Amino acid sequence: MINKKGIWFLTLFSLILVLSVYYITMPSELLLMNSAKEKDNEKDAGEVVVITESEVLTALRVEADEQHQQHMNDLKMILTSIDATVDEKNNAFEKLKLLNVTRGEEEKIEQQLQEEFKAKAFVKVEGNQIRVVIASDKHDNKLANDIMRSVQKNYENKMFISVKFQK
């Protein structure tokens, strides 16, 4: 009768045997292609990275998303905390809702600027301040004023809007 150790030994031995037969019978072209790809990757690692327009906006978005996610996690910790009072949990919930609404406004304004001005933009809303970063080489005052007016149309209250052109 075969015991558990014997079954495990036979299973692992047969697996190793199958893999070694596969490796031996594998065409050598595949091995050469894999080693060539690794050498190319090593060469690419030493190159200088040039930042383009969309990468600047992407970096801003990643940074904002990380801050947003960290703030949300902090608020969720308060919500799930056993030690937190009802008022603290209510305040955390309200702040969480406000964060989601603010994020929705930012995305809506970015989409609006893309549709109206065909400009890739990053928008950050903090209270009554709105920061807009446009990916463009050209610093155009008329375009900046048009963007400010267009963004202000979304709000009844006076907002402090800044527009920055980033290469």
Domains of the chain: 4-35 (no CATH), 53-166 (1.10.287.4300)
φ, ψ at 128 (rounded to 5°): -100, 15
Quick one: pLDDT at residue 82?
A: 87
Minimal CA–CA distance to 126: which of 47, 67, 38? 67
**Which residues of the chain are under the pLDDT cut of 50?**
51-53
* Global pTM exceeds 0.75: no
pLDDT tens digits along 49-86: 554 446 788 888 889 889 988 998 898 888 888 888 88
Quick one: pLDDT at residue 146?
A: 93
